[in-house]
Structure 1
Amino acid sequence: MIKKIIAVFALVVSTVAFSQENNASPYSFYGVGDLKFRGTVDTRSMGGIGILPDSIHLNLQNPATYGHLKLTTFTVAASMSNTDFKTASQTDNASRTTLDYIAVGLPFRKIGFSFGLMPYTSVGYKIRSTDTEGGFTRERQFKGSGGLNRAFAGVAYRITPSFSLGADMQYNFGNIETRSITDITSVGIQYPTREINRSDYGGFSFNIGAVYQKKITTLLNMYASATYTPRGSLNSTTNREIASITLNTSGNEAVVNTPITAKFSDNNVRLPSKFSVGTGIGQERKWFAGAEYMFQESNELGNRFDNITVAGFETAHRISLGGFFIPNYMSFNRYLSRVTYRAGLKYEKTGLIINNQAIDDYGFTLGLGLPLSGTIGGSNLNIGFEMGRRGTTSAGLIQENYMNFFVSLSLNDRWFIKRKYE
C-alpha cells in the first residue's frame, strides 16, 4: 500500500519537478531544445539500447516490452550532469541535477500497461556575441529556458510467447521562453532593444514497437526489437514583447517605453518521425550483448530567431552497443555476484549543422544494478555513468565534454492477487 501511495504522489508532484531549468547547452538554442529522455537508467547504462524485454524493469523505449512484466513495477530516476564547454580560446563549466522520469507498469497475464511522465526536450542557454560592421558595434545577448514534457500511456500484448506488439500514446506539453537583447553603439541609438518570446506547446504523438525472442540453443536466446514513431505535430501560441531598456553594470533591466506586444499561433509545428531496430543474444539472468540503430528524419524546427541563418538540420543517426553480465543471479552469500554489471558505447549524428559543421555526439557508459535486500521480485537500485563529447571547436563552435551520473529506483510488488481466504 505504501508503494501505491508513493507512486501516486510522485506522479502528482513530478510536473513541478520537470519544470526546473535542466539544461546548460548552447545547442539547445535550436528547435525546441535538446532531446532529454535517452532511456531508463538500466538501458542508458548499456549505451542506450532498448532491445530487452524484462520482467522486473520498465523499458520505456519500446512499448512492446510492457507485455513481459511479471510484477507491478514503479520506477523513478534522477541525474546529475557536469559539462565543460570549450572554444578555440575559452572554457567554462556548468552542472545540473534533474528528475528524469517517473513511471508505473502493470501486468495482466499476456497484457501489460504502463503510464508515466518524463521530460521530452529542455532549453537552457546564455549566449553573448559582438560584431563590428559599417562603423558600428553590435552586442547581442540570448537567453532561453523551459522545454517540453511528455505524459504517456501504453499497452502491449504478447501474441505468442516469443512475439509482442505494443503502442504508446503521448501528450507533449510545455513552454519555452527566449530573451534577446541587442545593443548597437556608435550610431546614435540610445537604448538597447529587448525581445521576449514565450511559446506554449501542446500536441499528441505515438510510438509503436515489436519485440521477438527465441531460444537458439539450450542456453542462448536471440532478441530482436523495432520501434517506429510517426511524424507528429504540436500546436503553439507565442506571446512576443519588444521594448527599449536600460542596462546597469549588474545586468539589471528597466523598460523605458511602452512595450510592443503581439501574439502568434501555429497549429502545425512538426515533430520528426523516428525508426529504430536492434538485435542481440544472451543467456537469461546471466549475460547479454546487443546493438541498436536509430534513424530520425530531418528536423523541420528551426531556431527561434529568424535572422540566424548559419544553422540547419539533416537526418540523424545513432549506433549503440552494450550489454550486461551477472556473475551468479542465485548466489545467497555473495552480494557482488548478484549485482548486474552494465557497459556500452554510442555514436550519434545529432542532425544539427552549424557553420557547415555537423554536431556529433559520442561516448561510453557504465552501470550497476544493485539488488535491494528484503524486497520481493527483484527490486533494485540502478546506478549509471556516462562520459562523452558533443560538438567541435572548429568553425567558431563549442565543444561539450560531459559526465553524467544517473540513478533510478525500481520497485516491484504484486498489486493484484486474488485472495484464497477471506
Structure 2
Amino acid sequence: MNKAFPVLLFLLLGMVTTSSFGQRGHGSLYSTYGLGLPSYDNFGMAGRIGGTGAAVRSPYFLNSVNPASQTSIQTGNTFMVDVDASYNYQQVKTSSGSIANNFSNLNYFSFWFRPSQFLSVSIGLTPIYTKDYSFSDRVYFEGLSEEYDRVFRGWGNLNKAYMNFSTQISPKFSVGVRPYFLFGNNTEEATFLNVHEDGFVSKKQTSLTGVGADLGFQYMFFRNENSALIFGATGNINSKVKGKLNGNIYTYIDDELLYEAEESTESYELGPSLRGGLAFHTKSWVWAADYLYALKAPKVTQSVDNQVFSFGAEHMPDYFSTDFFKRWNYSFGASYQTGSLSVEGLKIPIYSVGAAVGVPLNVSSRVSIGYKYKTTGNKNTISQESLHTITLNFTFADRWFQRYNYD
C-alpha cells in the first residue's frame, strides 16, 4: 500500500489535457462509447445485400437477420455450415492528422440442420457489439512540472451464442425464435509516460454476461410459379448485461503491481430494436429493402435512437445448372444509418455500399467474395473514418442420414 498511495494521489490530482489528439492503433474511435458499435447481424448473405434480410427467404443460403427465414432452404441438403471472415483497410482522419491501419476478423459462424420436415435448427456465434480503439493526448498534473504522454486503448466484443428454431405454420407464414447467451470481455487501458519513457499503466478488465432472444416472422403476400412477395419483421428482447470489473495499476517498465482494486459489478442496458422489410423473389433474383429502428442504450450519455435504411439484391441464374458460370451468384447492396451516437450535439452517420460474387466449389458448397466501402462520422466531431473491407463467406452443405438404394 505504501507504493500504491503516491500513484493514487497522482491520479486524484487535478489534471489538465492539452489540445493534441491523435488516433493510434486500429479500430473506430466511435467504439469508445458504451459497449462499442452494434453489428445488427450484418453477416453472411445479409452482408452481401446491404444488411437486408427481414423478408428474405433464400432457398440456397442462410439468412442471419430473421430467425423465421431458415425454413426456406430447399436444395435437398440436410445440413449447412456458414462462415464469414474479412480483411479490412482503414483510414482515419482527425483534426490533428491521419493514419491508416489494416486488420482481419472472423465475423460469424452458423451450423444449420433440419431435424424434421417442419423444423429447422441452427447454432451460431457472432458479435453484437465491437470495441476497438486507441488514441493519445498529452497531459500534465497540477503540482508537477513534467508533462506526460497518455495513450488510451480499448478492445473487446460482446458476443451472442445462439440456437435458432424456425417452423412453417402454413404455406404463407413462418415464425422463428433465437434464444442466445451473451458473453464477452472488454479491456480499457491508459498508459502514462514522461520524457524518460517512465510511468505507469492503469488497466480495467470487464467480463460480460447476459441472455436475450431474437423473434421474427415472415408472411408471403402472394406466390406464383415465377415470383413471390414477402413481408418480414424481427425484434429482440435483452436482459441487463452484467459486468464483473477488475482493475490494477502497475509500472510501465517492469510491470510491478502498484495497486489492485477489489472486484466490483456493473450492469449495462442494451437498446432494443425493431426491423421490418419487403422482399421480391423471382426464379433468379432477390430484391430486398429493410428499415430498422434501434432505441438508445439508456445508460450511455452519447447514445441516441438509430434508424437504418438498407437495400440489396442478389442474382442466381441457375443454382442447379450444369453450366459452371450459370451457378455463380452476384450481389450488391447499400445502407444508411442516421447514427447510434451523438457527440457534441451532432449525430454520427454511417454510409456503406458493396458488392459480391459467389463461386461454386462443388454441387452444394461455394465461396462468396465481397467488397464493401463504409464511411463513419466527420472531422468536426471526432474523426472521419473510411473502411475498405474484403469479405470471404464460405457455405458448405451436404446430406446426412439419407438412405440410398443399391441394386
TM-score per shorter chain, which class? 0.7 to 0.9
Q: CA deviation at 1:394?
A: 0.7
CA distance in 1, matches of 2:257, 2:171: 70
The alignment's TM-score, normalised by the length of structure 2, stands at: 0.84
The answer as to 2:163 corresponding to 1:167 is: no
2:386 maps to 401
The one-letter code of the counterpart of 1:354 is V
The answer as to 2:273 corresponding to 1:274 is: yes
CA distance in 1, matches of 2:96, 2:32: 21
Mark the CA change 1:42 to 1:415 in structure 2 (over 3 Å): closer, same or farther: same
SS of the residue corresponding to residue 243 of structure 2 reads strand
CA distance in 2, matches of 1:134, 1:264: 30
1:43 maps to 46
CA distance in 1, matches of 2:355, 2:404: 42
Decide which of 41, 55, 58 is 1:54's aligned counterpart. 58
CA distance in 2, matches of 1:28, 1:366: 25
Among the aligned pairs, what percent are the same residue? 22
Decide which of 103, 126, 140 is 1:118's aligned counterpart. 126
Q: CA deviation at 1:202?
A: 0.9
SS of the residue corresponding to residue 61 of structure 1 reads coil
The one-letter code of the counterpart of 1:336 is F
2:168 maps to 158
Decide which of 316, 326, 344 is 1:326's aligned counterpart. 316
Aligned pairs for 1:51-90 within 5 A: 51-70=55-74, 71=77, 72-90=79-97
The alignment's TM-score, normalised by the length of structure 1, stands at: 0.81
The one-letter code of the counterpart of 1:390 is T
2:8 maps to none
Q: CA deviation at 1:410?
A: 0.8
SS of the residue corresponding to residue 63 of structure 1 reads coil
The answer as to 2:261 corresponding to 1:261 is: yes
1:295 maps to 293
CA distance in 1, matches of 2:360, 2:222: 27
2:13 maps to none
Q: Is the 8 A contact 2:86 2:107 kept in 1?
A: yes
Decide which of 32, 35, 38 is 1:32's aligned counterpart. 35
The answer as to 2:397 corresponding to 1:417 is: no
Counting matched residue pairs gives: 375
Q: CA deviation at 1:288?
A: 2.0
Q: Is the 8 A contact 1:232 1:272 kept in 2?
A: no
Per-residue CA deviation, residues 78-128 of structure 1 (Å, 9 max, x unaligned), is 111111001234110111112111111112212100002223322222111
1:386 maps to 372
Q: CA deviation at 1:56?
A: 2.7
Q: CA deviation at 1:237?
A: 0.5
The one-letter code of the counterpart of 2:187 is E
The one-letter code of the counterpart of 2:119 is I
Per-residue CA deviation, residues 200-235 of structure 1 (Å, 9 max, x unaligned), is 011111000111224355522101110010233212
CA distance in 1, matches of 2:91, 2:263: 38
Shifted more, 133-142 versus 100-109: the winner is 133-142
Task: Structure 2: state its 5+ residue gaps.
Answer: 1-24
The one-letter code of the counterpart of 1:253 is I
CA distance in 2, matches of 1:336, 1:58: 22
Q: CA deviation at 1:419?
A: 5.3
The one-letter code of the counterpart of 1:175 is N
CA distance in 1, matches of 2:26, 2:299: 19
1:140 maps to 150
2:9 maps to none
Q: Tell me which stretches of 4 or more aligned residues in structure 1 moved more than 6 Å.
A: 132-136
Mark the CA change 1:66 to 1:328 in structure 2 (over 3 Å): closer, same or farther: closer
The answer as to 2:341 corresponding to 1:352 is: yes
Q: CA deviation at 1:196?
A: 1.1
